[in-house]
């Protein structure tokens, strides 16, 4: 059976991101004997023509659309990708009578609403490697399909998100028909996964909804094999896409050791939690090729951290920054400004903490995108911000009432005095022009790591000329 997998993600900021989920899905389907072709729209010049050519040449019997992003989570300059997905869907319908199924993290967040909006034949909520091949086996009887995570057209509910128990049972991602080298050239990175799931309960966070709360580990040897495969494909830098790389810390250390033992010359970066970051782990990460760590810090105010359900304090943030710096890792703190309980004073506390610890970069998002199933959605409803029947397709942001009217102006002022901080929603230090310039001169890894160049230049200008 011929299956066409399409990744319609054409977002280039902060970087084009290789479709790892699609690569996993492709290898799982091939392993089960399906004939698979992947169409990645990221770098194509004419997407309509690319779809037409794939459908004409391959004549798929089923199509899988991988919906990674719903929107860019950036306020006030918000972009929704759904209208484009709808055009892709319409183009496929125009040219093919094959059934079209949806999947991906974006789909998993709003499955019934997206299915209705796009008019697909069904979708898989959660992980697709086991369930999608199974669904295709019974494609003639999808109306009675009871596969985990399957959502049929016009249905409102599904059993529970599909989740793979043993990640080591999966074949490695299939990059054969995806242009990883181009991602490396233009996006500066490949990607790699060492686990799935997050057990924490930060009130706005969608990651546990997408990957589940149970942490499922991949064996460090398999992670090292994937890293080796990236190197073989000419990709020398990767992002570890785990929700939090350093939890559990023992696993993170084992992954580092496996990379070192295999002598894999991969440079990499990751998301990390400010707790669970020991001196030994920092050393191991540095030795294993890690260049930078992005902490999901959110706020520097103890009160707001508690409201967000964060299990760390400003002192943990200080400590983690110090430890990472000590071993020579670049440090980024991601902030979510406007969280529940935020006031002008708590914003000030956050900025003061960042000024004090002076990381390589700060990425500050304004407002928190609300998704169903999160504590934030309940709070927003209780505070009358959204109606009980809200469908969440239109990006809706939580911004604490006390600073709602002032936050953008406040942040714009701060951006002026911190020209090396990144404000995606304001388009500050994140642009295609800057990205292209840096990639053209061979800069690899996440671009925030290179804010240090900007800082050093600024600092050197302040030094009196003698």
Integer Cα distance of 443 and 445 in angstroms: 7
Largest CA distance in the chain: 80
Nearer to ligand B12, 21 or 292 (CB): 21
Per-residue mark of binding to ligand SF4, 286-325 (x: CB under 6 A): ----------x-----------------------------
Integer Cα distance of 33 and 39 in angstroms: 19
Specify the DSSP class assigned to residue 110: S
Query: Does the protein bind ligand SF4 through residue 212 (CB under 6 A)?
Result: no
Size of the site for ligand B12 (CB under 6 A): 46
Query: Out of 34, 47, 54, 64, which residue is the one contacting ligand B12 (CB under 6 A)?
Result: 64
Binding span for ligand B12 by CB under 6 A among 235-243, 255-263, 316-324, 331-339: 235-243
Integer Cα distance of 180 and 387 in angstroms: 43
Query: Out of 198, 305, 317, 353, which residue is the one contacting ligand SF4 (CB under 6 A)?
Result: 198
Q: Report phi then psi at 453, rounded to 5.
A: -65, -45
Integer Cα distance of 101 and 151 in angstroms: 10
Query: Out of 44, 50, 52, 241, which residue is the one contacting ligand B12 (CB under 6 A)?
Result: 241
Query: Does the protein bind ligand SF4 through residue 365 (CB under 6 A)?
Result: no
Q: Please name the residue ranges forming H helices in 141-219.
A: 180-187, 207-211
Residue 424 touches which of ligand SF4, ligand B12, none (CB < 5 to 8 A by kind)? ligand B12
Query: Out of 29, 36, 62, 70, which residue is the one contacting ligand B12 (CB under 6 A)?
Result: 70
Per-residue mark of binding to ligand B12, 112-131 (x: CB under 6 A): ------------x--xxx--
Nearest approach in angstroms of CB 319 to ligand B12 is: 24
Query: Does the protein bind ligand SF4 through residue 245 (CB under 6 A)?
Result: no
Are the C-beta atoms of residues 240 and 194 closer than 8 Å to each other?
yes
Nearest approach in angstroms of CB 356 to ligand B12 is: 25
Nearest approach in angstroms of CB 188 to ligand B12 is: 8
Query: Does the protein bind ligand B12 through residue 147 (CB under 6 A)?
Result: no
Are the C-beta atoms of residues 157 and 116 closer than 8 Å to each other?
no
Residue 130 touches which of ligand B12, ligand SF4, none (CB < 5 to 8 A by kind)? none
Tokens coding 143? 């109306």
Can you list the pairs that 312-318 forms with residues at least 24 positions away whose Cβ atoms lie under 8 Å? 312/273, 312/274, 312/275, 314/353, 316/274, 316/275, 317/274, 317/353, 317/357, 318/353, 318/356, 318/357
Query: Does the protein bind ligand SF4 through residue 368 (CB under 6 A)?
Result: no
Query: Does the protein bind ligand SF4 through residue 253 (CB under 6 A)?
Result: no
Nearer to ligand B12, 68 or 418 (CB): 68
Q: Please name the residue ranges forming H helices in 96-219.
A: 105-109, 111-118, 131-137, 180-187, 207-211
* Helix (H) or strand (E) run with residue 206 in it: none
Integer Cα distance of 389 and 368 in angstroms: 19
Query: Does the protein bind ligand SF4 through residue 197 (CB under 6 A)?
Result: no
Which positions touch ligand B12 (CB under 6 A)?
9, 11, 14-17, 20-22, 24-25, 64-66, 68-74, 101-106, 108-109, 124, 127-129, 132, 189, 191, 193, 206-207, 210-211, 239, 241, 243, 369, 424
């Amino acid at each position: 059976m011929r299956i066409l997998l399409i990744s319609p993600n054409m977002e280039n900021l902060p970087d084009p991101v290789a479709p790892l989920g699609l690569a996993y899905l492709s290898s799982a389907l091939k392993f089960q004997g399906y004939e698979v072709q992947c169409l990645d729209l990221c770098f194509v010049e004419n997407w309509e023509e690319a779809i037409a050519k794939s459908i004409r040449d391959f004549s798929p019997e089923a199509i899988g659309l991988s919906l990674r992003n719903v929107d860019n989570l950036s306020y006030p300059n918000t972009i929704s990708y759904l209208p484009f997905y709808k055009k892709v869907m319409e183009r496929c319908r125009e040219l093919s009578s094959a059934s079209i199924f949806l999947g991906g993290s974006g789909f998993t967040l709003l499955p019934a609403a997206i299915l209705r909006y796009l008019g697909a034949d069904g979708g898989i909520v959660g992980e697709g490697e086991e369930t999608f091949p199974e669904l295709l086996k019974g494609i003639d009887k999808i109306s009675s399909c009871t596969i985990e995570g399957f959502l049929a057209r016009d249905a409102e509910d599904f059993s529970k998100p599909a989740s793979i128990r043993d990640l080591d049972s999966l074949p490695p991602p299939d990059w054969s028909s995806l242009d990883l080298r181009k991602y490396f050239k233009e996006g500066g990175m490949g990607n790699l996964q060492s686990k799935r799931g997050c057990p924490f309960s930060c009130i706005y966070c969608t990651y546990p909804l997408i990957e589940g709360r149970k942490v499922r580990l991949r064996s460090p040897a398999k992670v090292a094999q994937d890293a080796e495969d990236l190197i073989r494909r000419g990709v020398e830098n990767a992002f570890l896409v785990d929700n939090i790389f350093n939890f559990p810390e023992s696993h993170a250390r084992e992954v580092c050791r496996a990379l070192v033992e295999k002598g894999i010359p991969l440079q990499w970066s990751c998301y990390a939690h400010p707790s669970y970051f020991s001196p030994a782990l920092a050393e191991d990460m540095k030795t294993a090729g890690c260049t930078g760590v992005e902490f999901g810090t959110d706020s520097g105010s103890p009160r707001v951290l508690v409201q967000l359900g964060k299990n760390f304090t400003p002192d943990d943030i200080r400590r983690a920054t110090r430890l990472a710096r000590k071993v020579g890792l670049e440090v980024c703190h991601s902030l979510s400004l406007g969280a529940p309980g935020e006031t002008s004073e708590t914003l000030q506390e956050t900025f003061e903490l960042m000024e004090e610890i002076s990381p390589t970069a700060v990425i500050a998002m304004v407002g928190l995108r609300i998704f169903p199933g999160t504590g934030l959605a309940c709070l927003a409803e209780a505070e009358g911000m959204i109606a009980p029947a809200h469908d969440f397709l239109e990006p809706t942001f939580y911004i604490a009432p006390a600073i709602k009217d002032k936050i953008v102006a406040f942040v714009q002022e701060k951006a002026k005095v911190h020209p090396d901080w990144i404000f995606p929603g304001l388009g500050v230090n994140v642009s295609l022009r800057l990205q292209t310039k840096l990639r053209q001169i061979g800069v690899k890894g996440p671009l925030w790591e290179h804010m240090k160049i900007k800082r050093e230049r600024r600092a050197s200008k302040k030094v009196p000329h003698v």
